[in-house]
């Protein structure tokens, strides 16, 4: 099924970033249960490797579970023994019956590199001073109804990733009547204010809030899971997990925004419908096959990389570059910016990279890496609309000696190196695409800084009718050293940077982040 709903290209969407590095390297696969918290069971790895990586190990069938209804099936994915958390409802939500014909959406070379990667996870915290009974009776029904309606447009998110019938290498998202999204409602006795703050807090506190993708079955791997967690009389948390091989952050945030608008009765301001036509997506030099072969040949290494968890003392925290900070950082590199554009996202990347290098106190001669994806939609020939659903990001790289970044002019050096990498991306977004797998494999074990999110996603505008979020987190940056970026909730032009680090590294990063700003 394809559509021709092309829209004018959104020229503002130039760069977006995803935390997980494709081709199986540097992935934040597990969402990090701490060994120091035995009550929370570590989630299973996101993908089991076998001939078809979307099937269970050893091609063993999944346990049979009789369907209660075509659109309502029991699902239990809550971490066992999570203290103070109770599952109130485990069900599924599907598009309205008969609203979507059986459809398949082929993977492109942009998609296949994410086949083994961890999911994209976003957690939205909302103040909600009402009891659980009010939410269940008055809020939950329209929330689920709006989700069903939104899945009619974003039907691939209700489908499954599978091998295309008759092929050993071609993958697709397949939707058939009755396919659905797992939907969990839970109640939490914890401190909503503690969990939704920007201060450093234990990462394990987020784990019970995050939905897990169900295990693959003979039909393939489900694409999305949703969990709503209630903090009675205090708040509500909406968390969405999306398999990265289905789509990138641009597509997944458009979905969440559309769902929120429908729930709030603001359909007229919802994002434009997704665009699915793959005919304009190039495949130069048969990149799909080359990327797939790279995945297959590296399967053994990928498997070892997939068993990664957050460190026992991991904390999650958020720092903010205020608009005045960003102005000063831009001024500091203005004299260097002859060969590149000094944008907000550039100085955010550069400053975060330098602070992380200093926090880790690398040897001066160590080569440190920065990897960022760029949104290729508007830069392909012909360009794709901003509404294109799927992955459409390329991999781009910067590197430097740690001593150069930690020195007196380290920020200016980082800005120049990243700026020149961005200019190379603009000049030819898929020019060096054949080298992406090799480059990812080269740097994947060297703790490169990677990035998730974008200030352009406007995650703080996601309003289900309860007001703006108090906080938005991305737990899928679990891989230590990744950061997330978003617009600030409280100040126009400011940028939030989210991190998951060991406690000592977080303290060191925060100190450098705060103190070094005084130098500009």
Q: Active-site positions?
A: 244, 463
Beta-sheet strands, E only, within 312-392: 314-321, 367-375
Which residue in the block uniquely carries the two structure tokens 């048969």? 286
Which of 296, 54, 45 is closest to 164 using CA atoms? 54
Beta bridge partners of 486: 496
| 150 membership: H or E segment, kind and range | helix 140-153
Provide CB contacts within 8 A for 26, sequence distance 6+: 20, 305, 371, 440, 443, 444, 445, 448, 450, 479
Nearest to 421 by CA among 357, 495, 351, 350: 350
In this structure, the number of other CB atoms found within 10 A of the CB of residue 308 comes to: 17
Q: Are 343 and 350 in contact (CB under 8 A)?
A: no
Closest among 273, 266, 495, 244 to 386, alpha carbons compared? 273
d(CA 461, CA 261): 10
The pairing of strands 495-502 and 483-487 is antiparallel
Q: Six-digit token pair at 105?
A: 């959406």
Q: Which helix (H) or strand (E) holds 292?
A: helix 287-297
Of the candidates 153, 139, 129, 140, the one whose C-alpha atom is nearest the C-alpha of residue 91 is: 140
* Spatial contact of 399 and 367, defined as CB atoms under 8 Å apart: yes
Alpha helices in 361-457 (DSSP H): 402-406, 410-427, 436-443
Q: How many residues does the chain have?
A: 520
Q: For residues 23 and 436, is the Cβ–Cβ distance under 8 A?
A: yes
Instruction: Report d(CA 54, CA 460) in Å as an integer.
Output: 34
Q: For the stretch 462-499, what's the b/e string if a residue is b when 16 or more beta carbons lie within 10 angstroms of its beta carbon?
A: bbbbbeebbbbbbbbbbbbbbbbbbbbbeeeebbbbbb
Q: Which residues fall within 8 angstroms of residue 116, CB to CB, at 6 or more apart?
A: 23, 24, 27, 47, 49, 53, 295, 302, 306
C-alpha span between 313 and 303 (Å, rounded) = 24
Nearest Cα neighbor of 396 from 413, 373, 415, 380 is 373
Peptide bond into 288 cis (omega under 30): no
Structure tokens at 355: 């602070």
Write phi, then psi, for 176 (nearest 5 degrees): -135, 160
């Amino acid at each position: 099924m394809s559509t021709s709903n092309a829209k004018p290209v959104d020229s503002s969407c130039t760069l977006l970033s995803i935390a997980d590095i494709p081709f199986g390297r540097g992935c934040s696969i597990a969402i990090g249960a701490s060994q120091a918290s035995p009550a929370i069971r570590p989630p299973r790895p996101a993908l089991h490797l076998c001939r078809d990586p979307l099937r269970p190990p050893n091609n063993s069938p999944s346990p049979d579970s009789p369907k209660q209804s075509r659109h309502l099936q029991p699902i239990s994915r809550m971490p066992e023994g999570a203290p103070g958390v109770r599952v109130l409802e485990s069900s599924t939500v599907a598009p309205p019956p008969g609203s979507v014909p059986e459809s398949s959406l082929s993977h492109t070379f942009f998609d296949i590199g994410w086949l083994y990667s961890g999911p994209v996870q976003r957690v939205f915290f909302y103040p909600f001073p009402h009891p659980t009974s009010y939410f269940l009776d008055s809020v939950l029904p329209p929330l689920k109804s709006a989700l069903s309606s939104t899945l009619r447009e974003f039907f691939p998110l209700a489908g499954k990733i599978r091998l295309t019938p008759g092929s050993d290498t071609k993958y697709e998202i397949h939707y058939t009547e009755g396919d659905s999204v797992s939907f969990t409602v839970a109640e939490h006795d914890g401190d909503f204010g503690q969990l939704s703050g920007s201060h450093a807090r234990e990462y394990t506190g987020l784990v019970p809030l995050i939905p897990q993708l169900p295990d693959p079955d003979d039909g393939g791997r489900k694409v999305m899971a949703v969990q709503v967690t209630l903090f009675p009389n205090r708040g509500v948390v909406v968390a969405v997990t999306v398999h990265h091989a289905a789509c990138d952050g641009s597509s997944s945030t458009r979905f969440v925004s559309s769902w929120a608008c429908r729930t709030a009765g603001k359909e007229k301001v919802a994002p434009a419908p997704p665009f699915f036509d793959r005919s304009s997506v190039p495949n130069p030099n048969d990149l799909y096959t080359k990327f797939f072969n790279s995945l297959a040949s590296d399967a053994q290494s990928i498997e070892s990389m997939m068993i990664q968890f957050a460190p026992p003392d991991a904390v999650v925290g958020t720092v903010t570059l205020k608009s005045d900070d960003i102005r000063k950082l831009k001024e500091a590199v203005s004299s260097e910016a002859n060969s590149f554009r000094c944008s907000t996202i550039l100085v955010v990347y550069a400053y975060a990279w330098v602070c992380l290098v200093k926090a880790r106190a690398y040897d001066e001669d160590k080569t440190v890496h920065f990897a960022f994806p760029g949104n290729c939609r508007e830069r392909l020939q012909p360009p794709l609309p901003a509404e294109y659903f799927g992955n459409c990001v390329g991999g781009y790289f910067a590197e430097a000696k740690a001593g150069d970044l930690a020195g007196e002019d380290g920020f200016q050096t980082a800005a120049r190196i990243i700026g020149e990498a961005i200019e190379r991306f603009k000049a030819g977004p898929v020019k060096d695409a054949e080298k992406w797998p090799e480059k990812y494999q080269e740097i994947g074990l060297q703790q490169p800084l990677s990035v998730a999110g974008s200030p352009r996603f406007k995650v703080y505008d996601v309003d289900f009718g309860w007001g703006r979020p108090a906080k938005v987190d991305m737990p899928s940056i679990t891989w230590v050293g990744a950061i997330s970026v978003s617009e600030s909730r409280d100040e126009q032009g400011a940028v939030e940077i989210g991190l998951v680090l060991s406690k000592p590294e977080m303290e060191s990063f925060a100190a450098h982040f705060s103190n070094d700003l005084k130098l500009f």
